[in-house]
Structure 1
Amino acid sequence: MTAISTSSGPLAGIKVLELGTLIAGPFCSRMLAEFGAEVIKIESPDGGDPIRQWRVLKDGTSLWWSVQARNKKSLTLNLKDPRGQKIAQQLALDADIIIENYRPGVLEKWSLGYAQLKAINPATIMVRLSGFGQTGPMKDQPGFGAIGESMGGLRYVSGFPDRPPLRVGISIGDSLAAMHGVMGAMMALRHRDVTGGRWNGQSGAGLVAGQGQMVDVALYEAVFNMMESLVPEYDHAGVVRERTGGALPGIVPSNTYTTGDGENVVIAGNGDAIFKRLMLAMGRDDLASDPQLARNDGRVPRTAEIDEAIQAWCATQTIDSALSILQKADVPAGKIYSVRDMMSDPQFLARGMFEQHSFADGTPVKMPAITPKLSATPGKTNWLGPKLGEHTEEVLRTLGYEEAAIADLRRDGVV
C-alpha cells in the first residue's frame, strides 16, 4: 500500500467522496485532490473505473489513469450490496463534498441520494454531474460529453462551413462540466462555512451545522455557458452563428494561415493598431494606409481580401521567419502546437508545466503540472493513480472495521 503523506495545500482537511467513473466526476475530484483535499474514490471490485483501460496502456493500466486519479485513494466497494451501501453512507456523511456522475435516481436506490443524506447531515454538499441535470424531460436519458457538446452548441460552430461539424480533439464537454463542478463546490463550501460550518454528527445547543446544498451540473449547460453572445445575437438580430473554420468572424483579421514549409500559424491582427503593424511588416503599405481598413467595421466587408493578402505573405515564409517578423512587429501570432512542440518549448519549460515521476517499476514518466498556479499554496502531485482498491483496508479501518470484518467483506465480494 502506498504510504500517504500528510495533506497540504489550500484544501487540506477537506474530505471528498467520489462516486463516479470516466471523466466529468473524476476530473472534478482530481482538481480538488491536487490542491490538498483528501479524495476517496469508490470503485467497483469488478475492474474499477473503466478509464483504467482507456487509450494508451502501460502494464494493462491507462496512462491517462495516472493523471486522472493522482492523489486519490481507491476503495473497492460493491454498491449493490447493502453492506457496501452502508460503508458508502458512512463516508458520505463524514465528507465535506460528495461528487457523483451517475444517472439521476441511481444514488437514491442505494440510499445515497442528496435528500436522503441531507436529512441526516444538513451540511451535505453534493456535486451532481449528469448529461441533462437532475430535472427536466431528458434527465433520465444517458448523456455523454459528445451529446453535451452537440446540444450545448459547441459542435454546431466547430469546423468548416462546407463540411459536417467537427469534434474538438479532447473530451471538452466532460472537462467543462468538471470545472463547473469545482466552482460550484467551492461556492457551496464557502456558504456552508459562513452559515455554521462542518457537521460533527451531533445535535444540541451550540452545535449548528452549516447549510449544505446540491450543485446540479448538466454537461450540455456547462458547454452552453461557454457560447459567448450566441443567444442575444439570435434573439435580437436573428443571427445564427455558423462554422467558420479557423477564422474569427466579425473580428478581422484573425485566422489560421499556412507557411511555405507547410506549418500552420494563427495570426490575430484584429486590433486597429495591430492591423497596421501587421500590414507594414508584410510590406503591404497600401493596406496599412487604406482609411477604410483603419477600423474593424471597415475591415469586415473586405475579410476575404485581407486573408488572401496574409496567406500570400505567409506562403513566402517559413514558420520560424514568419514568427520572428511578427514578434518584432508586436503582432500576436503562434504556431499550432502538437504535444511534441509543447514538451520542448521554452515557455512551457520555464513555467514548469511538466512533472517528472516514476511508475512502481521505476520507469520514469512525465505528467502535466498542476494548474492554476497559486503563489502561496500551490497544488502538488503526491502519488500517481492508485492500484484498484489500494487503500481499501486503510479507509475501512478509519471507519472502525477490524481485520476479521474486512476479511469477511472481501470473501463476500463487498470490497
Structure 2
Amino acid sequence: MLDGLRVLDLATLAAAPLVATYLGEFGADVIKVEEPRHGDPIRGWGNQRDGVGLMWKSIARNKRSITLDLRCAEGQELVRRLVEHADVAIFNTRPQTLRKWGLDYESLRAVNERIVMLHITGYGLSGPKSERPGFGTLGEAMSGFAHITGQAGAPPTLPPFMLADGVASLNAAYAVMMALYHRDVHGGPGQLIDVNLIDPLARLLEQTLLGYDQLGLVPERAGNRWDISAPRNTYRTADGKWLAMSGSSPALALRVFRAIGRHDLLDDADFSDPQRRLARAREVDAVVADWVATKTLSEAMDAFEAHEVAAAPVYDISDLVADEQLAHRGVFISVDDPQLGPMTVQAPVPRFSSAPGTVGHLGPRLGEHNTEVYGDLLGMSHDEIDDLRARGVL
C-alpha cells in the first residue's frame, strides 16, 4: 500500500518511532537511524531475553537499522543526504538542538522541498515550555488523565503502559498521511507537522473541557464509574474472576436488570430513568455486584449474553492470547527472529481487504543495514563506510 514511500526514523523511544512502525507495516521503507554506541534507548526498555529487548523487537519491526552520530558535522551532513532520498523524516529531539545541528525543518526543506517532517515533542514547538524535555508520563499528568483516574479519595493514577505516547503516535500517523495526500494529490509542498504528548490525549478528554466551560464542573476521581451511565464498573465473580459492564444506552441498563431477575427495578423510575439512575449509581452497582458474586464467570456471562447485556470478562494477557475471537481474526502472529527464534507479536492494525499489513521481520541488530543503506542509497564505497565507522561517525 505504501510501497515506494521512504521514511527516516531519527527519533528515540516510543511515540515518534511508533509512527514509523505503523507506516512500515503497510509497505513503507523505514530507515531507523540510531546512535552508534548503544542505539535507541528503547532497546533496553522493559523485559529482556538473552540481553535482547523484547519491546525493541516489536517497535522496530520492518525497519532497517543504520548508525549515525547526529552530534558531529559529518553525521549531520549524512542526514541531509539521506533526506534528499526521503519522503518523511521523523524527529523527537528538542527544537533548539535540531536548529543547532542544522536539522530543523527549514534546513531540511532547503535540501528537499517535498519532505514531510514530523516533529513530536513533550510540549510542542512553540511556547514557554517548548524546550523542556517531555515524556509520556508528563503528558498523562498534564492532559487531565491522571486527575480523573483512580479511586475516589486516592492519589491520581498513571497508566502502567505508554498511553500518551500511543495516542500521540496514532494522531501523528494520520497527520503524516494527510500531509502526503496534500503533497501528492493536490500538488502541495512538503510541510512540518507539530505534535506534542499533551494535546492528543487532552482531545480524548474533551468532555471535561465542555463541562468546565459551560457548567464550571471539575470532575474528580470516581473509580470505574462514569457520570454518563450506570451500571458501569467491574464486578467480582464467585470463582474470583472479574467482568466489566457498560450501561451506556438506556436499553442496555434495562437488560441488566432483566438478566439478574430484578424486574421490579424496571417499573421503578429511580432505576429505569437514565438520569435518575445515575444519581443512584452506587445502589445500582451494589445490586449488580451482589448478583455477580453468586455466579461463576461462565454462569454470569451466559446470563448476560442471553439478554444481550454489554459485558465482558476482564482478561489478563494469557486470557487475551487464548480468546477464540482474537484467534479467529489472527490478532497474534508468530514471526521467526534470527536472535530469539519464534516470537508471538500482534499483527498490524487496522485490517484492509485488499492490502493487508505485514510483519516481514522484527527489530534488527544495531547498524545491521549500514552497508546496504549507505552503499546502495548514498553510493558510498566500503572504504568510506569503514572509515566513518572507525571514527565513530557510524
TM-score, structure 2 length as denominator? 0.97
Equivalent position amino acid for 2:387 in 1: D
Out of 111-120 and 147-156, give the one that drifted further: 111-120
Written as runs of structure 1 = structure 2, the 5 A alignment for 1:329-368 is 329-361=307-339, 363-368=341-346
Q: Which residue of 2 aligns with 1:247?
A: 225
SS of alignment partner, residue 105 of structure 1: helix
- Contact 1:270-1:296 within 8 A present in 2 as well: no
The partner residue of 1:411 within 369, 390, 393 is 390
Pick from 146, 163, 166: which aligns with 1:172?
163
1:60/1:218 CA distance change after superposition, 3 Å: same
Tell whether the 8 Å contact from 1:268 to 1:332 is kept in structure 2 after alignment. yes
**2:260 equivalent among 265, 274, 282:** 282
For the Cα contact (< 8 Å) 2:83–2:112, is it kept in 1?
no
CA distance in 1, matches of 2:248, 2:5: 45
The answer for the alignment partner of 2:79 in structure 1 is 88
**2: CA distance between counterparts of 1:228 and 1:336?**
27
1:296 aligns with 2:287: no
Distance 1:135 1:251, change over 3 A: same
Instruction: Return the offset for 1:224.
Output: 0.8
Shift of residue 250 of structure 1? 3.0
Output the CA distance in 2 between the equivalents of 1:195 and 1:283.
60
Alpha-carbon contact 1:23-1:174 (below 8 Å) kept: yes
CA contact (8 A) 1:17 1:40 kept: yes
Q: Distance in 2 between matches of 1:101 and 1:159?
A: 30
Name structure 1 gaps, 5 residues minimum: 1-9, 197-209
The answer to whether the 8 Å contact 2:15/2:166 transfers is: yes
Q: CA deviation at 1:361?
A: 5.0
Match of 2:150 among 156, 159, 169: 159
**Distance in structure 2 (CA, Å) of the matches to 1:280 and 1:325:** 10
2:241 match: 263
Bigger fraction of residues in helix? 2
Please give the alpha-carbon distance, in whole angstroms, between the structure 1 residues aligned to 2:39 and 2:339.
22
Instruction: Report the alpha carbon displacement of residue 46 of structure 1 after superposing the two structures with TM.
Output: 1.0
CA contact 2:2–2:27 (8 Å) conserved in 1: yes
Taking the aligned partners of 1:346 and 1:245, their CA distance within structure 2 comes to 30
SS of equivalent residue, structure 2 residue 117: strand
Task: State the partner residue of 2:106.
Answer: 115
Structure 1 residue 362: Cα displacement: 6.5
- Decide which moves more: 130-139 or 254-263: 254-263
In structure 2, distance between residues paired with 1:271 and 1:250 = 9
Match of 1:232 in 2: 210
Q: Which residue of 2 aligns with 1:147?
A: 138
The answer as to whether partners of 1:195 and 1:211 remain within 8 angstroms in 2 is no
Change (3 A) 1:67 1:261: same
How many residues are matched? 393
* Partners of 2:105 and 2:192 within 8 A in 1: yes
Secondary structure at the aligned position of 1:39 is classed as strand
5+ long unaligned stretches in structure 2: none
Residue of structure 2 in register with 1:5 after alignment: none
* CA shift for structure 1 position 295: 2.4
Change in Cα spacing, 1:369 to 1:137, as seen in structure 2 (3 Å) is same
- Could you tell me whether the CA contact under 8 Å between 1:277 and 1:288 is conserved in 2? no
Q: 1:400 aligns with which of 371, 379, 385?
A: 379
Give the whole-Å Cα distance in 1 for the aligned partners of 2:189 and 2:341.
47
SS at 1:280's partner residue? helix
Q: Which amino acid aligns with 1:404?
A: D
Q: Report the AA paired with residue 322 of structure 2.
A: S
Tell me, what secondary structure is at the counterpart of 1:278? helix
- Deviation of the 1:134 alpha carbon: 0.2
Q: State the SS of the aligned residue for 2:279.
A: helix
Change in Cα spacing, 1:31 to 1:161, as seen in structure 2 (3 Å) is: same
How far apart are 1:105 and its partner, in Å?
Answer: 1.8
Q: Distance in 1 between matches of 2:184 and 2:141?
A: 37
Q: Is the 8 A contact 1:125 1:189 kept in 2?
A: yes
> For 1:258 and 1:337, how far apart are their aligned partners in 2?
13
- Identity of counterpart residues, as a percentage? 39
Task: Work out whether 1:54 is the aligned partner of 2:45.
Answer: yes
Question: Which residue among 14, 18, 21 is the counterpart of 2:9?
Answer: 18
Aligned to 1:104: 95
Q: Distance in 2 between matches of 1:149 and 1:63?
A: 24
User: Counterpart in 2 of 1:202?
Assistant: none
Post-superposition shift, 1:63?
Answer: 0.7
1:258–1:314 contact (8 Å) kept in structure 2: yes
Paired residues of 2:95 and 2:104 also in contact (CA < 8 A): no
Aligned counterparts of 1:125 and 1:362: Cα–Cα separation in 2: 35
For 1:289 and 1:335, the matched residues in 2 are separated by: 29
Counterpart AA for 1:239: L
- Counterpart selection for 2:355 from 367, 377, 385: 377
Spell out structure 1 runs of 4+ moving beyond 6 A.
Answer: none
CA distance in 2, matches of 1:342, 1:309: 28
Aligned Cα root-mean-square deviation (Å) = 1.2
The whole-number CA distance in structure 2 between the counterparts of 1:176 and 1:361 is: 30
Contact 1:275 1:288 in 2 (8 A): no
Report the Cα distance in structure 1 between the residues aligned to 2:173 and 2:273, rounded to whole angstroms. Answer: 40
1:307 aligns with 2:285: yes
Counterpart AA for 2:350? P
Alignment deviations for residues 324-345 of structure 1 (CA, whole Å, 9 cap, x no partner) = 1000110010111111001111
Distance, in Å, in 1 between the alignment partners of 2:169 and 2:250 is: 37
Report the alpha carbon displacement of residue 113 of structure 1 after superposing the two structures with TM.
0.8
Give the Å deviation of 1:407.
Answer: 1.3
In structure 1, C-alpha distance between the alignment counterparts of 2:390 and 2:255, rounded to whole Å: 73
Match of 1:126 in 2: 117
Deviates more, 1:186-195 or 1:380-389: 186-195
Instruction: State how far apart, in whole Å, the 1-side matches of 2:131 and 2:250 are.
Output: 50
